[in-house]
Structures are given as structure tokens and as C-alpha cells.
Structure 1
Amino acid sequence: MKSQVIFLALSLLFSVQSFATRSHKVDRATIREIRKTLNFYFEGVNFGDINAIAEAYHPHAYLTYVDVESGEYQKFQIGEYLTTLSQLPERKHCRDMLLESLDVTGEVALAKTVITWQHLPKRMTDYITIMKVDDEWRIISRVSYTEWASFETPHITRQDRKATQIEIYQTIRDYLSGGQTHDGEIFKKAFHPQADMAFVHPKHKTCQRLSMQDYLNLHARQSPNRKRQQIIESVDITGNIAVAKVKLRYKKINAMITDYICLVKTDGKWQITHKASHKEIKAMSIPI
């Protein structure tokens, strides 16, 4: 147990510090708090500690994955996940976790973790959205991709890789177009029907969530063509899941919204399953 905890702490510390120095000025206290939340998630599963897992997640968090073989989309709330775990026989897992990247914007963060099993040919990649709510960093969404066998990099042609990138960027562009025109039909192309949206209210520090239908209803009441600068800052792809960071700058009111967008490939197409946003106070009147 001790060797696993030390390994995790060192790997997380190294990964976060190197990423933070390269990308953002993130204070050490924030890094420690986020690392603590990820430790609760990882070690909670390792040692079957339901209380530790619950400590890591926001009560309204969602977990999502797409079955590699069947292509079936799966999404469930953290309460369902904890109930399932509590019914399993007690068992310790020998796993290692590497925090491959971390991006923080205000009260919202996105972590990419890679978990490997020591005695099984199994590896899981998570895109984890974390929000600071009521002064605590909690996981609000986790999208996972699991691999088995030798982990040898499958042969993917340049054309296949480019085609995947084009499909993902098109989905993001549909989202951006829908945001400017408030066209529900365009949004429906970009988002999975079970998608959800979240942001932290900058004044009250509470988590605000919307279902897909709530989101469509909100945008239906907006005026189209609000001028803004749209930047797709980064995209990361792992198997049938992906994540993107998008910035929306509203010059007229001098405000920025940053979106962390999680996507999955299901039924042969890439769609957004979760969006977490950081809104500057001046942007509060703009729908997420």
C-alpha cells in the first residue's frame, strides 16, 4: 500500500508541475488540492473505500464511456456507481496512475490520467473534469476509454488519423455555430442527446448544471449573431473519446468564456457528451 501511494504522489507531482510551468500559472495550493481529489478517486477504487471515492466526486457527477466492442453509449450518475461498488466483494487492486496532463482555468480544471493494472493487460485513460465548488475541488465528470491486450499502438494510417481529426473539429464547429445562431438543430448535431453542461457561478461558487433540453430551451430565447472571437486551443484524442479546450472572447464586454468539451464516438459519429465552462463575471449574462 505504501509503495503505491508514494508512486502516485510522485508521479502526480511531477506531471502537474511540469505541465503548469509550461502552460499556466497555477498556484501550488491549487495543484495540491486537485491532486488530493484525484488521490481520493484512485486510491478509493484501489482499496474499495467507498467514502474516499464519494469524497472525490461532486454529488451530481456523471461517468461516461462507450463500449469498445458494441459501441454502446453508457452514462450513469455517481450514486449508481457507488451503489454498484458497494455490492462488490472487497478486493484490492494493484494499479498505477499517471497524471498525463492538467489544465486549469479559474474554478474549472481538466485532467488526463492513465491507469495501468500491474497484473492484468489492462489500461484506462480518463478525461476528468474537476470544479471548485464551495471551496472544494470535486470531480464533476469522468469520460473513460479502456484498452486490453498488449497496448501495442494499433496501425492507424495518416488518412484515418486526419479523418478522425476532421470529424471532431466539425463537431466542435457545429457547437460554435449553434452558439452564435442559437439554432437548436445545429446543437443537436453537435451534442449527444444525453449531454450535460456545467459551470461554477463566479459569485456564489455553486455548480450550475443543465440537461440537453434545458440547454436548447435557454438558447432558444437568445438573440442570434452575438459577435465573439472563437479559438479551438487544443484537442486530445484517445480511442473513442476526446477532449477539446475552446475559448470564446466577447470583445464588446471584454469578457472570456473557456469551455472544456468531452466528446465520444458512438453510432459512427463524434458528439459532445459533457461541457464544463469557466465564465468571467462580465460574461454572466451570456448562456453557457
Structure 2
Amino acid sequence: MKNVLMLALAAAVIATPAAAQAPAHAHAGHAAHSAHPAPERAVSAEEAEVRAALQHYLNGHATGLGSEFAAVMHPEMKMMFIRDGQLTQRTSAEYIAGTSGRPAADESQRRRWIESVDVTGNAAVAKIVLDYPTTRLTDYFTLLKIDGEWKIMNKIFHAEPKTGN
């Protein structure tokens, strides 16, 4: 029985295309960290919709326009993070109200990208990286498809100061 299971497992690995086995971390606008980047994988229509919705979030950071964030953040969205060792919360309205309406002075030195998206039905999770001159932020989102539109429902993040700045 053990040999049969081992043979079945080996056959499954051999029959699985390399693209399906490779990690799905390659993405547009961001260089792979390996000398041999993972092959591109097909993106489902739903994942493409989630990525298009998240582009509003990225555009909001690039432009400072609250309207970009409002286009993707659900009015009931909550953001939670740790500040000075304490759990801190902010609503989407508070987040949007804090926008400047213009790009950051160091915008040309900032990079940001969608690291990953995982979709099941009308629910999705996503990871976005914001690589700024003095800080690297990693955002995690939950999204729902509501009335045909993907909306950010929750956001948590981690900010890591860069050393040597």
C-alpha cells in the first residue's frame, strides 16, 4: 500500500506542469529576486478584476488623491495596525481624509506593486508592497465582490524602517 501511494504521488508530481508547481510571485513592474524567475502563470478573469480594483489603491498612493482610495475601499472598511506597541484602527473615511491631493515629494523614488492575489468565488486576499526611501510597507487586504465590484473590506499592514537612512 505504501508503495502504491508513493507511485501515485510521484506520478502526480511528474504530470503537474512546472508552471503550476512554481511560486506565483513574479509580477509586472517588479524584478524577480532569482536568477531564474518563475514562469508566468495564467491570471483568471476574477483575479484580473481584483488587480484592476487594487490599482486604484496604488494610484491613490502615487497621486495622493482620495478619490482613488474611495473607488476601491468599502465605506465600512477597517484598517488595523500596530503603532508604538498598541493596536490602532482607522476607518476608510479617516484614511481618505488624510490624503494630500498631490504626489509625495519623493514620489520618483517610490516603488509599489501587487505581490499576490488569491480569489475564491466572491472573496479575495491580496498582498501589496510599498517600497519607499525610508520605509518598506507590506499591506494585506481582504476584498469582497459586492454588486459586481471588488471592494477592500479590511487592511492590516507592517511598516519596516530601512536602516542607514
Question: TM-score, structure 1 length as denominator?
Answer: 0.41
Aligned partner of 2:29 in structure 1 is 11
Aligned partner of 1:90 in structure 2 is 102
Deviations 1:33-91 (A, max 9, x none): 11111110011121111111100111111111102xx2011111101111122xx4733
Aligned partner of 2:117 in structure 1 is 102
Deviations 1:85-133 (A, max 9, x none): 2xx473333421232222111111111111101xx22100011111111
Cα 1:137–1:19 shift into 2, 3 Å: farther
Cα 1:140–1:125 shift into 2, 3 Å: same
Structure-1 separation of matches of 2:29 and 2:74: 24
Aligned partner of 1:130 in structure 2 is 143
Which residues of structure 2 form unaligned runs of 5+? 1-26, 33-37
1:112 pairs with 2:127:
yes
Tell me the CA shift for residue 150 of structure 1.
3.0
The letter for the 1-side match of 2:103 is R
Please list, as runs of the form range in 1=range in 2, the aligned pairs for 1:44-193 lying within 5 A after superposition: 44-67=60-83, 70-85=84-99, 88=100, 90-92=102-104, 93-94=107-108, 95-117=110-132, 120-150=133-163
Tell me the CA shift for residue 31 of structure 1.
2.2
Cα 1:112–1:135 shift into 2, 3 Å: same
SS in 2 for 1:11: coil
SS in 1 for 2:80: strand
Cα 1:98–1:83 shift into 2, 3 Å: closer
The letter for the 2-side match of 1:110 is V
More strand per residue? 1
Structure-2 separation of matches of 1:137 and 1:10: 21
How many pairs were matched up? 129
Over the aligned positions, Cα root-mean-square deviation in angstroms equals 2.6
Cα 1:103–1:74 shift into 2, 3 Å: same
Question: TM-score, structure 2 length as denominator?
Answer: 0.68
Aligned partner of 2:46 in structure 1 is 30
Structure-1 separation of matches of 2:40 and 2:28: 14
Cα 1:20–1:134 shift into 2, 3 Å: farther
Structure-2 separation of matches of 1:132 and 1:47: 25
Identity of aligned residues (%): 28
Structure-2 separation of matches of 1:131 and 1:89: 27
CA contact under 8 A between 1:129 and 1:140: conserved in structure 2?
yes
Structure-2 separation of matches of 1:58 and 1:101: 20
Structure-2 separation of matches of 1:37 and 1:98: 13
